[in-house]
Amino acid sequence: MSSNAADDEVFIYTGPRGEIVPKDVVRVRVNQSIVSLPVDAFCGHTNLTEVELSEGLVEIGDGSFRMCNNSITKINIPTSLRRICNDAFCNSLQNPIHLHDGIESIGERSFGCCIFTNFRVPLLIKVIPDSMLFNCKSTFSVEIPNNATEIDDFAFSDCFCLRNVAFPPDAVIGYKIFLERDNYSDLQELFGSQERIIIELQHRFDGLPIHKLVYYQSYHQGVLQNLITAIYMRSSHGRALRSELNLTGDQQDCLGMTPLHILACSSVHDIEVYRVIIDNYPTNLITEDRWGAVPLLYAFWGAAPTDIIQFMMERYQSIYPHHQFNWTMMVDTMGRCDTPKENIEKLLHVKQMYFPEQSIDWEYLLDKFANDYSHLAFYNTFRERLQFLVMCGMSLHVEALAFKVWRDNITHMIQTAAFGVRGDNSVVLREIRAKFAYFEDEFPKLKESTTIIELALWKMSMNENIPQEEATHCQKKTKVDKSSIQRRITCGADVVIRHVLPYLITFADDES
């Protein structure tokens, strides 16, 4: 049975010998009878948004969900799944995916060109395959189990926003895992060469037990108690009853990250772990890593749960109430890294709620996206995200426009702007700004015109309602009595506002 006439209807997939999968299918449920999804089962289904995989599924075959144009926003992974084959989700996922630790193998290019901010490699995976996350331009954090033995070539090629990652010290690592075909990566910015990146990441946690424990927390039980034990190192000499704080929690690793940075990047979030880290190392809150980012940026970037964001903001307000955040840098970083706009929306909302007096340099940001980031125009989400940023940056200006027709005009212009499509984005931005300038310049003229018309109607009303001899007398006097004020109110201003003013606005708009 299948239907996709409405979003709440689901296509039931029963295997390659069953009904052909419609090309415009939106929601899919894989029948419980399916043990292995065949090759290219849903390849190229660019309208597919939700996938429900039933328990009993063991294998996702080669290219089962490839080339869906990052349309899949929701998918569950059953506990029975053991194998993800080559190209399984290449260019298909738009949100992070949770891979449980029962998965035994992941194929080459399996998650290439996907849109997610962080990725956790399952515990049983010993070999990180060739090009596993190639061209994942929004991914800034990858967790790799410490027992992994090999990381193949191109595993993270073109992941130019990748920051939070560590390699097992004894793993065999391919020389070209960070090959950058088009862009200069954040890791190369710090270390210059792939050889240096590999060395630094293999020894990232040397002498930093708190950092290491936090990075690998998703692979171990009892992390909270282990963390408390690691922080309070009890001496076996003399003063056994006195707890001594482990000072490495305030130190920074080779990336400039503190334990709180790493925690905010993590795929799992335990508020009690946050509490222990912040209570013992409060300066973690305002310490910047080598890219100038505080932990809060990574919490927004990776879409940390709301209770975690709220807890961090409360701690900022109680411990560092006057700290000046670089909100401009945060929006810039998340915007250029193909971050889902929902994550940026949350940052802007929380900023307005907790630190409304702090500013964002929208003029700088919009110019940067329109000019410096023109090479990002091939991203699937770039046009939508740039429209969103332009609307955010200009929202106060839009609200300040005097007339609704103007506000609607500008809003429509932004929503239909050809950002990211062939052409110069800076030209499009200039056109929008020019429209703003035109409206702002026209308002004083319209205001003056309506004032003259209103005064003319006022005079006409006075002349019609005052006896001739009184009108003659009034012409000789400048004093206005109370009755004339009443006439001014009822002279026809409502006619001007309701009929004449819209005409003037429309005329001015047509002239532009």
pLDDT at 319 over 50: yes
Show Cβ contacts of residue 152 under 8 Å, excluding neighbours closer than 6 positions: 108, 127, 128, 129, 130, 131, 132, 174, 177
Residue 230 lies in a domain: yes
| Structural domains of the chain, count | 2
Q: Tell me the two tokens of residue 59.
A: 């294998």
pLDDT at position 218 = 95
Residue 408 gets which letter from DSSP?
Answer: H
Residue 499 lies in a domain: yes
One domain, residues 467 and 340? no
pLDDT at position 4 = 41
Show Cβ contacts of residue 238 under 8 Å, excluding neighbours closer than 6 positions: none
Q: CA 77 from chain center: how many Å?
A: 24
Residue 256 lies in a domain: yes
Residue 55 lies in a domain: no
Contact 227, 213 (CB under 8 A): yes
Show Cβ contacts of residue 148 under 8 Å, excluding neighbours closer than 6 positions: 121, 125, 126, 127, 128, 168, 171
Average pLDDT, the chain: 84
pLDDT at position 184 = 75
Q: Which tens digit of pLDDT belongs to each residue from 172-228?
A: 998 788 876 555 789 999 998 889 999 999 999 999 999 999 999 999 989 999 999
**Rounded CA gap, 292 and 270, in Å?**
25
One domain, residues 339 and 454? no
Half-sphere exposure of 131 (CA within 13 A, CB side): 14
| Domain with 458 in it | 450-511
Q: Is 47 exposed, middle or buried (0-12, 13-18, 19+ CB in 10 A)?
A: middle
One domain, residues 216 and 314? yes
pLDDT at position 508 = 53
Q: Tell me the two tokens of residue 310.
A: 């709220």
Q: Tell me which H or E stretch contains 11.
A: strand 11-13
Q: Which residue has the higher pLDDT, 482 or 448?
A: 448
Show Cβ contacts of residue 109 under 8 Å, excluding neighbours closer than 6 positions: 86, 87, 90, 129, 130, 131, 132, 134
Residue 58 lies in a domain: no
pLDDT at position 219 = 96
Show Cβ contacts of residue 25 under 8 Å, excluding neighbours closer than 6 positions: 2, 4, 11, 42, 45, 47, 48
One domain, residues 477 and 338? no
Q: What mean pLDDT do residues 51-70 have? A: 96
pLDDT at position 412 = 81
pLDDT at position 35 = 96
One domain, residues 330 and 466? no
Q: What mean pLDDT do residues 474-498 have? A: 49
Q: What mean pLDDT do residues 359-369 have? A: 89
One domain, residues 241 and 344? yes
Residue 306 lies in a domain: yes
Q: Which residue has the tokens 């709180």?
A: 260
| Percent of the chain scoring above 90 in pLDDT | 58
Q: Which tens digit of pLDDT belongs to each residue from 129-178?
A: 999 999 998 899 999 999 999 999 999 998 989 999 999 999 999 878 88
One domain, residues 214 and 350? yes
Among 360, 379, 405, residue at a domain's last position: 360
Q: Tell me the two tokens of residue 252.
A: 């920074």
pLDDT at 240 over 50: no
1 confidence band (pLDDT: 50, 70, 90): very low
DSSP string of 77-119, one letter each residue = --TT--EE-TTTTTTTB-S-----TT--EE-TTTTTT---SEE
Q: Which residue has the higher pLDDT, 53 or 95?
A: 53
Q: Tell me the two tokens of residue 364.
A: 């700088």
pTM of the model: 0.82
One domain, residues 356 and 461? no
One domain, residues 485 and 352? no
3 confidence band (pLDDT: 50, 70, 90): very low
One domain, residues 235 and 342? yes
- Range with the poorest average pLDDT among 15-19, 163-167, 244-248: 15-19
* Number of helices (H), then strands (E), in the chain: 18, 15
**Rounded CA gap, 19 and 34, in Å?**
14
Residue 4 lies in a domain: no
**Rounded CA gap, 142 and 262, in Å?**
11
Q: Tell me the two tokens of residue 259.
A: 């334990």
Among 360, 389, 419, residue at a domain's last position: 360
One domain, residues 221 and 344? yes
pLDDT at 264 over 80: yes
Q: Which tens digit of pLDDT belongs to each residue from 406-440?
A: 788 878 877 777 776 555 777 888 888 888 777 77
Q: Which residue has the higher pLDDT, 245 or 129?
A: 129
Residue 456 lies in a domain: yes
473 confidence band (pLDDT: 50, 70, 90): low
Domain of 289, CATH number, reads 1.25.40
Q: Tell me the two tokens of residue 299.
A: 């919490």
Contact 51, 31 (CB under 8 A): no
Show Cβ contacts of residue 190 under 8 Å, excluding neighbours closer than 6 positions: 197, 254, 255, 290
Among 360, 380, 410, residue at a domain's last position: 360
One domain, residues 218 and 349? yes
Cβ neighbour number for residue 172 with a 10 Å cutoff: 11
